[in-house]
């Protein structure tokens, strides 16, 4: 029987919800492109309920305990004295969400001799030292596609809110003002702008599709080129390198995984190659950008705006410069954990667990690492190595 250690974000400060804003969420049949939705034998939760915080338990307790397994759920994940560190040594399975990641560093993996499976309840397994997982034979799986469209919607929202100066205008209303000139002094139309995505996978392509009706010029760069029919349909311009693309874009959105090839890709040198006054939207991973280079570029006007929901580490310390830099539209990491997305990734985690306990193959598209090497989605979109360096800084958030 397995011990399952599950790290989830804290419950709402006002208490776990007693009711929800909408009664039923739409039921989807398939993802775009045809991939099947998560298909566990059963679920023990109501889609649309809060599952990603501690009390929601991803809807897993009944299933796990009925089958004789142990489930430990905690939000206390950082620092040597954390519940996560104390519970890890005899855990077989660790489940973690990228929004509140339990960093599975090489040191932690070394302290967990029974660990065999790390499941990402979401997409993006960079919080696991993938090299250490490969070296130790730990399987890493995520729920591919579960929140790709959630993020694509968020990217479009952030591009529009930055370019149109939405958040400062909203602030004037809340402050009791009617300061139109203050609002519009940084407000533009997106129409006619050149918008480019770094990475045109599930999220990147969905962003391009959603932006097409805005009559913008669409650009992308990726390791693999999209089919010619897709390029023609969306009138896409492909660039063989990120440097070539950012030179001509008014808006750049980042939609790649974090892995050694993309870590700190947007540093001083690359940001200097962007058009002066470009907007950068990053909902992929905070560490794809150099933290201080972004803050500098906003202060000196090289970037007109920066928005996203991903930071490094998570949670970021209270004095993280992205909290106070000018012209930003940052939120905590929320885009992929809407109540709609939670229902899909909770079902996907259940499907992965059912396969694991039944000794059936986990879907190839869910795999990141298996049998000591990158596999499935991991083999297509990641490079080998480790991107967790510096994650111990997350413990600073706890300190007063």
Per DSSP bridges, beta strands 70-74 and 328-330 are: unpaired
Choose between 78 and 309: whose C-beta lies nearer to ligand NDP. 309
Out of 127, 333, 344, 363, pick the active-site residue.
333
Choose between 57 and 142: whose C-beta lies nearer to ligand NDP. 142
Out of 127, 154, 239, 285, pick the active-site residue.
285
Closest separation in Å from C-beta 191 to ligand NDP: 26
Is 147 among the catalytic positions? yes
Q: Which of 40, 47, 56, 124 binds ligand NDP (CB under 6 A)?
A: 124
Out of 97, 127, 147, 255, pick the active-site residue.
147
**Does 147 sit near ligand NDP (CB under 6 A)?**
yes
Is 259 among the catalytic positions? no
Is 154 among the catalytic positions? no
Helices then strands (H, E): number in the chain? 14, 14
> Is the separation of the CB atoms in 240 and 270 below 8 Å?
no
Query: For residues 132, 133, 136 and 139, what is the CA-based torsion angle, rounded to 10 degrees?
Result: 180
Query: Near ligand NDP by CB under 6 A, which window of 109-117, 196-204, 323-331, 342-350?
Result: 196-204
> Is the separation of the CB atoms in 353 and 60 below 8 Å?
yes
Strand order through the sheet with 373-374: 70-74, 3-7, 93-96, 117-120, 139-142, 367-370, 373-374
**Does 310 sit near ligand NDP (CB under 6 A)?**
yes
**Does 381 sit near ligand NDP (CB under 6 A)?**
yes
Beta-carbon neighbour count of residue 36 at 10 Å? Answer: 11
Angle of helix 202-211 versus helix 148-163 axis, rounded to 10: 50
Positions 317 through 356 that interact with ligand NDP (CB under 6 A): 333, 335-336
**Does 119 sit near ligand NDP (CB under 6 A)?**
no
Positions 252 through 271 that interact with ligand NDP (CB under 6 A): 255-258, 261-262
Give the residues lining the site for ligand NDP (CB under 6 A).
122-124, 147-148, 151, 198-204, 221-224, 255-258, 261-262, 283-285, 309-310, 333, 335-336, 377, 380-381
Catalytic residues: 147, 285, 314, 333
């Amino acid at each position: 029987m397995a011990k399952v250690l599950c790290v989830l974000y804290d419950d709402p400060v006002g208490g776990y919800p007693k009711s929800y804003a909408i009664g039923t969420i739409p039921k989807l049949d398939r993802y775009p492109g045809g991939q099947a939705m998560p298909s566990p034998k059963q679920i023990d939760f109501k889609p649309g309920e809060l599952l990603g915080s501690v009390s929601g338990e991803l809807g897993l307790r009944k299933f796990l305990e009925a089958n004789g397994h142990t489930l430990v759920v905690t939000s206390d994940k950082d620092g040597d004295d954390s519940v996560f560190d104390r519970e890890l040594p005899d855990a077989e399975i660790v489940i973690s969400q990228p929004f509140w990641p339990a960093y599975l560093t090489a040191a932690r993996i070394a302290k967990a001799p029974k660990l065999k499976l790390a499941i990402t309840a979401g997409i993006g397994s960079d919080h696991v030292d993938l090299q250490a997982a490969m070296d130790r034979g730990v399987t890493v799986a995520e729920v591919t596609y579960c929140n790709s469209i959630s993020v694509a919607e968020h990217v479009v929202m952030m591009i529009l809110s930055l370019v149109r100066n939405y958040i400062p205008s909203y602030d004037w209303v809340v402050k009791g003002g009617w300061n139109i000139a203050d609002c519009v002094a940084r407000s533009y139309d997106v129409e006619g702008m050149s918008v480019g995505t770094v990475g045109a996978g599930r999220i990147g392509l969905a962003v391009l599709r959603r932006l097409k009706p805005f009559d913008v010029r669409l650009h992308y760069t990726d390791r693999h080129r999209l089919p010619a029919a897709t390029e023609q349909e969306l009138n896409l311009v492909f660039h063989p390198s990120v440097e070539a693309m950012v030179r001509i874009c008014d808006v750049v959105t980042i939609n790649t995984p974090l892995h050694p090839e993309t870590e700190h890709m947007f540093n001083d040198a690359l940001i200097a190659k962007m058009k002066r006054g470009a907007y950068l939207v990053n909902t992929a991973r905070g560490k794809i950008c150099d933290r201080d280079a972004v803050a500098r570029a906003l202060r000196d006007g090289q970037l007109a705006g920066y928005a996203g929901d991903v930071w490094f580490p998570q949670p970021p310390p209270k004095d993280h410069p992205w909290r106070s830099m000018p012209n930003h539209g940052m939120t905590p990491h929320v885009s992929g954990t809407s109540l709609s997305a939670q229902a899909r990734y909770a079902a996907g985690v259940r499907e992965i667990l059912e396969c694991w306990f039944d000794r059936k193959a986990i879907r190839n598209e869910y795999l990141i690492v298996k049998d000591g090497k990158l596999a499935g989605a991991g083999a297509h979109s990641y490079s080998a190595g480790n991107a967790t360096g510096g994650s111990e800084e997350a413990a600073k958030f706890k300190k007063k």
